[in-house]
Structure formats: structure tokens, C-alpha cells
Structure 1
Amino acid sequence: MSIDIGIKPKDRKAIADGLSHLLADTYTLYLKTHNFHWNVEGPMFNTLHLMFETQYTELALAVDLVAERIRALGYPAPGSYSAYAKLSSIKEANGQPKAEEMIRQLVEGQEAVVRTARKVFPAAEKASDEPTADLLTQRMQVHEKNAWMLRSLLA
């Protein structure tokens, strides 16, 4: 059955493509944050272990929201490691970095997600796609706050 939500098919496709990059970044950051939660060590262990758990839990919910928006626009949501590796701007962590390096990498990851979300706005605004714009705004607020909180640990 065709989709008639007041957004042209080519605009829906452009938005879904942008959201696919956002989904890949969000999932990659989720995986990195969960990995660091498991493997953090040192004097800040308890603080970081709990902070990382809070963040990866929120990210796990976020991937569902982004994927469901892609589906609502009529396109398949990417859902494999290989697809995410192609679409994500966030690199995987190699080895087991020290706690301070974990924090730095997560700040970079949080900021990368914000930049990716920002890139989707023009397509959403052009199509008057308020649900996507709202989703992007919410995601940017969360990631900007997380980046600030993580960055404060490095001061």
C-alpha cells in the first residue's frame, strides 16, 4: 500500500537516508559505550561504570526511535554491523583504552551524533517533516548534554 503522509517520495527517501546515518552512529556509540561500561578500570570505576550504563541504556532506546521513524517514512532501517560500519562516522574502539581515553572517545562520539543529526535537518525542514525534526532536536539535546557531562570529567 502506498504512503501518503504529505511528504513526497524523494523527500522521504532523503530523510530516511539521513536517518540511516544517524541510526548507524547511534548504534555504534551504543556498542562503544557498552564496551567501555564492561571494561572500565581505575579510580573513577564506579562513577564511569554507572554513567556509561545510563548512557548505553538511553542509546538502546534511541536506536528503536530512529529505526521506527525510518520505517514510518516507508524505508527499511539498516540493522547489521556491516551496514553500520559503512554508514557510521564513529570508529570502533580498538583494544582496551584507559578510562580517560574512553571518556575522550565518548565525547567525540556524542558530538559526532549531534553533527549527523544536524545534517538531516535541511531535508526534514524542506519537507515540513515535523516528527523527524522533533526527533532530531531531542536526540541533539541528549547528546550535547552527554558530551558536556563527559567533558566535565576531563577538566
Structure 2
Amino acid sequence: MAKVTALNPKTRKTTPEIGLEESYLEEASKGLSEVLASTYKLMIKTQVYHWNVVGPLFGPIHELTEAHYNTLFEAIDIIAERVRALGHIAPVNFGDMKNFAPTGHSVDNSSAHDMVADLIKDHEAAARTIREVGSKAGEAGDMVTEDMLTARLTFHEKALWMLKAIVSD
């Protein structure tokens, strides 16, 4: 049986000729990989909290976290595809993925307020990373990455506003 070569592509590093320095492309891909890992972690954690939140704030937190994890899931693909467009391999190892999600014990002992506070902490960390990587993209003239990260930052800042509003006194 003949092999179909199109179904067996060779993975190779290709440097796109798009007006950006090769050293920047590598740095940007590393930065985007950090953004991707934090987005993936936040998506998993948000979904776990969505399933397990209890108490008087169940309804609004359950609905908000569902919207957030769906948005985060879509963002994962967009970020990984940008890494590929910059000529690098999308990350295949996010470290020890079991550390991405909270443990059953921590979920059992977390109030809705604790869960939201934990999500706030992770959204703030993601926003800081995105701002740093996005600033470097702007300095390098990488408008596509900068624009994509501006959209990601907009999401995280709005998520922070909503999460903080839910648990405010």
C-alpha cells in the first residue's frame, strides 16, 4: 500500500520572511508559549470551579465561569496558531499538567469566594504576562501578535472586573 506523503508531513523549523527579526520570532514564540500555558491552566481551573461551586453565588459564578472557560478554550487555539505562524512549534509539553487543576481536596474545602479569589489571582498573572509579551511585540513591529494579545488582555481585564464585582461587599 502506497503512503500518502501529505498525511506524513515532516516537522521542520521554518523562518517566515515577514519583516521580523529571527531572534524576535524565537523570543515571541517563547513568550506566547508562556501565555498559552497560563491560558490553558486558567481554562482548566475555571472549568473545575464551574462544576464544583456551591452556595448563594452558585448561579452567577456558574454562568460566568462557563462563559470564561469557553472563551479561554478558543484562545488556546489562536495563541498556538500564532506560535506556528511565527515559524516555531506550538508547545507540546506544559510541564506537569496535573498541577494545572486544583485538587479535589482543595475544591472540597474552598468556598465560592475562595474559588473566585483564586481565579482573580490567575487572571491578574495572565494579564501581567500578556502585557509584557504584547509590549515586546509592539516594540518589534509585530502588529499581529500585539493585536491578538490586546484582545486577550481585554478579556482578562473584563473577567477581573466581573469576578471582583461578584464577590464585592
In structure 2, the partner of 1:46 is 59
Counterpart residue type for residue 6 of structure 1: G
Q: Deviations over 1:29-48 (max 9, x none)?
A: 00000000111111111211
Counterpart residue type for residue 160 of structure 2: A
Per-residue deviation at 1:126? Answer: 2.7
Instruction: Give the 3-state SS of the residue equivalent to 1:22 in structure 2.
Output: helix
In structure 2, the partner of 1:106 is 119
**Do residues 72 (structure 1) and 85 (structure 2) align?**
yes
Counterpart residue type for residue 47 of structure 2: H
Per-residue deviation at 1:79? Answer: 3.4
Greater length-normalized contact order (CA 8 Å, ≥ 6 residues apart)? 1
Instruction: List alignment gaps of at least 5 residues for structure 2.
Output: 1-13
Aligned with 1:137 (options 136, 145, 150): 150
Q: Deviations over 1:17-65 (max 9, x none)?
A: 1100000000000000000011111111121111110000000000111
Residues 133 and 84 of structure 1, relative CA distance in 2, 3 Å threshold: farther
The list of structure 1 runs, each at least 4 consecutive aligned residues, that deviate by more than 4 angstroms after superposition, is none
Instruction: Give the 3-state SS of the residue equivalent to 2:60 in structure 1.
Output: helix
In structure 2, the partner of 1:93 is 102
- TM-score, normalisation: structure 2: 0.83
How far apart are the structure 2 equivalents of 1:136 and 1:83? 25
Per-residue deviation at 1:81? Answer: 4.0
Residues 119 and 93 of structure 1, relative CA distance in 2, 3 Å threshold: same
Instruction: Give the 3-state SS of the residue equivalent to 1:82 in structure 2.
Output: coil
How far apart are the structure 2 equivalents of 1:98 and 1:81? 28
Residues 15 and 2 of structure 1, relative CA distance in 2, 3 Å threshold: closer
How far apart are the structure 2 equivalents of 1:51 and 1:16? 30
How far apart are the structure 2 equivalents of 1:40 and 1:136? 30
Residues 82 and 91 of structure 1, relative CA distance in 2, 3 Å threshold: closer
Counterpart residue type for residue 73 of structure 1: L
In structure 1, the partner of 2:162 is 149
How far apart are the structure 1 equivalents of 2:134 and 2:64? 29
Instruction: List alignment gaps of at least 5 residues for structure 1.
Output: none
Q: How many residues align?
A: 151
How far apart are the structure 2 equivalents of 1:104 and 1:50? 17
CA contact (8 A) 2:127 2:157 kept: yes
In structure 2, the partner of 1:55 is 68
How far apart are the structure 2 equivalents of 1:68 and 1:129? 15
Taking only the aligned residue pairs, the percentage that are identical comes to 38
CA contact (8 A) 2:15 2:86 kept: no
In structure 2, the partner of 1:15 is 28
How far apart are the structure 1 equivalents of 2:49 and 2:96? 22
The structure number with the bigger radius of gyration is 2
Instruction: After superposing the two structures, state which structure 1 stretch, 131-140 or 90-99, moved more.
Output: 90-99
Instruction: After superposing the two structures, state which structure 1 stretch, 121-130 or 19-28, moved more.
Output: 121-130
